[in-house]
């Protein structure tokens, strides 16, 4: 037993016994003191007193016998990042991966035990959660308030219960939520999974829950977003459940996110960012903010590290294929739209089958079932409707093959992949891809291009003019490109320019990532 002994003064005269005891032992709750008095553990001037509301006189001697705290907690050493402290409370930054208080699955190595090692007065508070007034999940990082006395614990707990504490989190979530919004769905235990919570009607045990958010930033490819989330209630897993319910689970959330979203981060990307409250003893307004740990920034940056998609385009004879071949020799995976179309036009190709059905009496297929390109060209020159239908079909099929190529190369870890697409702008493909490709235009004067075409392909002048007329003028096409490469020299010079282009892309990717990192840091500073 621990004995509390005090002599009353004139200031104590007329006060209730439990109030006088509370002033002498502020680390104990008034309820705990009342219980001890009613249990017969109090004497005044040697006589038992069991009335907690007994009036005190000056000059009395009060003795209160208290049982030793029955906590089994053991103080432990460990790193603590303290944002602020006084004799009443501590504001700390809990790292991800650290459990707040002991539980059956984690009986030791908890935040509470580290706090007990630094602040032994917490041992005067009974229970396995001394000083804890709110909690963060093990995988959630950020600000946590801890009371150092029982009285301050009660006052802070009451402030949380009255929703007088402003709590704001940072969350990386899948997809693109609305710019701002709220969720008021009740939350309760999952009906079948014991370790999960869920949106549950109040009629089935769900409790009211209120979550607000504001979208701070969205990734360029719109796969995920950064939210500032405020919770007005403190239900278990509230943010995780509400956002998953809305179709925007937290990146890395092993409990509520699908596997592909889990894989985007090493843990659930949730950080207790800001908190505002009234000091339990002084009544002063208090506000704290804490930036997230590095893993949140790194997860955002890594999620934005998509394979660089490059389109190589240009007018006939400009050297698109030669430039693409230079990239291939430098180790870049490449795709040719012309090669894809050739396969579509070949025997049993999807385009050949369709053109054969559309041809009617006009023979557009060869003996082997492949498209007779010369016959098709003549037919399209005379029939604009046929030309539009053929281009629509072939371009759609080729675009699908290009998407499959890019997806495959990205899954293999390629940092950059290039596709030669002569009619990229004419087919309006510039609006078709996410992330948006970097477009390289290969530029060469028309007389030089015409000489190359005649020498390499044997096209007559009227065919050259017809093909050129179906495309954007070179000046317009080059103006729409992100990068223009002049091909007015030798093949060796063109490959040197391909090498220079790759080096510029690497430098640009690095610069873009550095700029993104600075932008994100500014959002939460």
Which residues lie closer than 8 Å to 457 by C-beta, 6 or more apart?
none
pLDDT interval class at 362 (50, 70, 90):
low
pLDDT of residue 360: 62
Q: Which residue has the tokens 């891809």?
A: 433
314 assigned ligand-binding residue:
no
Q: Tell me the β-bridge partners of 53.
A: none
pLDDT of residue 383: 78
Q: Long-range pairs for 344-353 at CB < 8 Å and ≥24 separation?
A: 344/394, 344/397, 344/398, 345/370, 345/371, 345/373, 345/394, 346/370, 346/371, 350/397, 351/390, 351/393, 351/394, 351/397
With a cut of 90, say whether residue 368 has pLDDT above it: no
458 assigned ligand-binding residue:
no
User: Of 181 and 451, which is predicted with more confidence?
Assistant: 181
| Catalytic one of 12, 18, 137, 253 | 137
SS3 181: strand
With a cut of 80, say whether residue 106 has pLDDT above it: no
Asked if 26 and 151 count as a contact pair (C-beta separation under 8 A), the reply is: yes
User: Of 284 and 458, which is predicted with more confidence?
Assistant: 284
pLDDT interval class at 256 (50, 70, 90):
very high
Segments making up each domain of the chain, as ranges: 2-66, 81-304, 308-516
- Average pLDDT score over residue span 392-405: 90
d(CA 46, CA 108): 43
d(CA 477, CA 220): 25
319 assigned ligand-binding residue:
yes
Distances (CA, A) of 13 to 51, 52, 59, 224, 256: 16, 15, 9, 65, 59
Asked if 444 and 416 count as a contact pair (C-beta separation under 8 A), the reply is: no
141 assigned ligand-binding residue:
no
pLDDT of residue 359: 62
Asked if 370 and 382 count as a contact pair (C-beta separation under 8 A), the reply is: no
pLDDT interval class at 477 (50, 70, 90):
very high
Percent over 70 (pLDDT), the chain? 97
pLDDT of residue 337: 93
pLDDT digits (tens, 9 = 90+) for 110-132: 999 999 999 999 988 877 789 99
pLDDT of residue 310: 98
d(CA 385, CA 360): 14
pLDDT of residue 27: 61
pLDDT of residue 71: 55
d(CA 324, CA 319): 9
With a cut of 80, say whether residue 292 has pLDDT above it: yes
Torsion of CA 9, 15, 20, 23, to 10 degrees: -90
SS3 262: helix
- Average pLDDT score over residue span 342-364: 78
pLDDT digits (tens, 9 = 90+) for 228-240: 999 999 899 999 9
pLDDT interval class at 22 (50, 70, 90):
confident
With a cut of 90, say whether residue 391 has pLDDT above it: no
Asked if 111 and 98 count as a contact pair (C-beta separation under 8 A), the reply is: yes
- Average pLDDT score over residue span 242-254: 98
pLDDT of residue 463: 74
Query: Known catalytic residue: 488?
Result: no
Question: What does the longest C-alpha to C-alpha distance in the chain come to?
Answer: 122
pLDDT of residue 19: 86
411 assigned ligand-binding residue:
no
Domain 308-516 sits in CATH at 3.40.50.300
Domain 2-66 sits in CATH at 3.10.290.10
Asked if 441 and 314 count as a contact pair (C-beta separation under 8 A), the reply is: yes
pLDDT of residue 186: 96
pLDDT interval class at 408 (50, 70, 90):
very high
Q: Which of 308, 335, 322, 331 is nearest to 495 (CA)?
A: 322
Percent over 90 (pLDDT), the chain? 66
Which residues lie closer than 8 Å to 76 by C-beta, 6 or more apart?
108, 109, 110, 113, 114, 116, 117
Homologous superfamily of domain range 81-304: Pseudouridine synthase (3.30.2350.10)
With a cut of 90, say whether residue 62 has pLDDT above it: yes
CB atoms within 10 A of CB 323: 25
pLDDT digits (tens, 9 = 90+) for 195-223: 999 999 999 989 999 999 999 999 999 99
User: Of 357 and 44, which is predicted with more confidence?
Assistant: 44
Structural tokens at position 119? 């602040």
DSSP code string of 65-133: EEPPP------------EEEE-SSEEEEEEPTT--SS-BTTB-SS-HHHHHHHH-GGGGGS-SSSTTB-
At 134, which helix (H) or strand (E)?
A: none
With a cut of 60, say whether residue 375 has pLDDT above it: yes
At 167, which helix (H) or strand (E)?
A: strand 166-174
CB atoms within 10 A of CB 292: 26
With a cut of 90, say whether residue 92 has pLDDT above it: yes
Task: Find the helix packing angle between 350-358 and 337-345, rounded to 10°.
Answer: 50
pLDDT of residue 271: 99
pLDDT of residue 225: 99
Distances (CA, A) of 276 to 18, 143, 164: 32, 11, 9
pLDDT interval class at 291 (50, 70, 90):
very high
Would the CATH topology of 2-66 be identical to that of 308-516? no
265 assigned ligand-binding residue:
no
With a cut of 80, say whether residue 467 has pLDDT above it: no
With a cut of 60, say whether residue 421 has pLDDT above it: yes
pLDDT interval class at 247 (50, 70, 90):
very high
- Average pLDDT score over residue span 480-493: 95
pLDDT of residue 100: 92
Asked if 125 and 27 count as a contact pair (C-beta separation under 8 A), the reply is: yes
Mean pLDDT taken over the chain: 91
The tally of CA atoms less than 13 A away on the side-chain side of residue 231 is 26
Q: Tell me the β-bridge partners of 289.
A: 274
Q: Which of 166, 244, 135 is nearest to 199 (CA)?
A: 244
Which residues lie closer than 8 Å to 67 by C-beta, 6 or more apart?
1, 2
Which residues lie closer than 8 Å to 260 by C-beta, 6 or more apart?
none
What's the first-to-final CA gap in the chain, in angstroms? 50
With a cut of 90, say whether residue 85 has pLDDT above it: yes
pLDDT of residue 72: 66
């Amino acid at each position: 037993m621990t004995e509390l002994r005090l002599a009353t003064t004139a200031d104590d005269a007329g006060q209730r016994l439990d109030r006088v005891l509370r002033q002498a032992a502020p680390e104990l709750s008034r309820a705990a003191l009342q219980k001890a008095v009613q249990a017969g553990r109090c004497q005044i001037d040697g006589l038992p007193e069991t009335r907690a509301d007994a009036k005190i006189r000056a000059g009395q001697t009060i003795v209160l016998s208290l049982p030793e705290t029955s906590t089994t907690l053991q103080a432990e050493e460990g790193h603590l990042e303290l944002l602020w402290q006084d004799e009443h409370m501590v504001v700390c930054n809990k790292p991800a991966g650290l459990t707040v208080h002991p539980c059956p699955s984690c009986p030791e190595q908890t935040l509470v035990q580290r706090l007990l090692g630094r602040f032994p007065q917490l041992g005067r508070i009974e229970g396995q959660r001394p000083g804890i007034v709110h909690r963060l999940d093990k995988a959630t990082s950020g600000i946590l308030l801890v009371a150092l006395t029982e009285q301050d614990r009660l006052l802070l707990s009451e402030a949380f219960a009255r929703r007088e504490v402003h709590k704001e989190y940072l969350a990386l979530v899948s997809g693109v939520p609305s710019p701002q919004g709220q969720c008021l769905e009740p939350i309760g235990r999952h009906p079948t999974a014991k370790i999960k919570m869920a949106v549950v009607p109040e009629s089935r045990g769900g409790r009211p829950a209120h979550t607000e958010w504001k979208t701070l930033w969205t990734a360029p490819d719109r796969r995920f977003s950064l939210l500032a989330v405020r919770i007005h209630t403190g239900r278990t897993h509230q943010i995780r459940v509400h956002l998953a319910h809305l179709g925007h689970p937290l990146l890395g959330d092993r409990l509520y996110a699908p596997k592909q979203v889990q894989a985007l981060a090493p843990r659930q990307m949730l950080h207790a960012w800001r908190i505002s409250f009234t000091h339990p003893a002084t009544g002063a307004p208090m506000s704290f903010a804490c930036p997230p740990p590095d893993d949140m920034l790194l997860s955002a940056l890594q999620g934005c590290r998509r394979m660089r998609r490059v389109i190589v385009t240009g007018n006939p004879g400009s050297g698109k294929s030669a430039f693409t071949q230079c990239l291939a020799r430098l180790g870049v995976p490449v795709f040719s739209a012309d090669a894809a179309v050739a396969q579509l036009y070949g025997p049993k190709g999807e385009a050949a089958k369709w053109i054969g059905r559309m041809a009617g009496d006009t023979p557009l297929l060869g003996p082997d079932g492949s498209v007779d390109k010369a016959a098709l060209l003549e037919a399209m020159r005379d029939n604009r409707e046929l030309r539009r239908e053929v281009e629509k079909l072939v371009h759609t099929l080729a675009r699908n093959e290009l998407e499959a190529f890019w997806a495959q190369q990205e899954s293999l870890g390629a940092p950059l992949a290039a596709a030669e697409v002569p009619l990229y702008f004419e087919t309006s493909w510039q609006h078709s891809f996410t992330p948006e490709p970097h477009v390289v235009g290969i530029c060469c004067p028309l007389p030089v291009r015409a000489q190359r075409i005649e020498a390499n392909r044997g096209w007559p002048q009227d065919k050259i003019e017809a093909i050129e007329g179906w495309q954007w003028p070179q000046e317009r096409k080059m103006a729409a490109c992100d990068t223009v490469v002049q091909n007015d020299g030798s093949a060796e010079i063109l490959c040197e320019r391909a090498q220079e282009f790759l080096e510029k892309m690497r430098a640009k990717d690095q610069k873009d990532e550095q700029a993104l990192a600075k932008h994100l840091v500014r959002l939460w500073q």
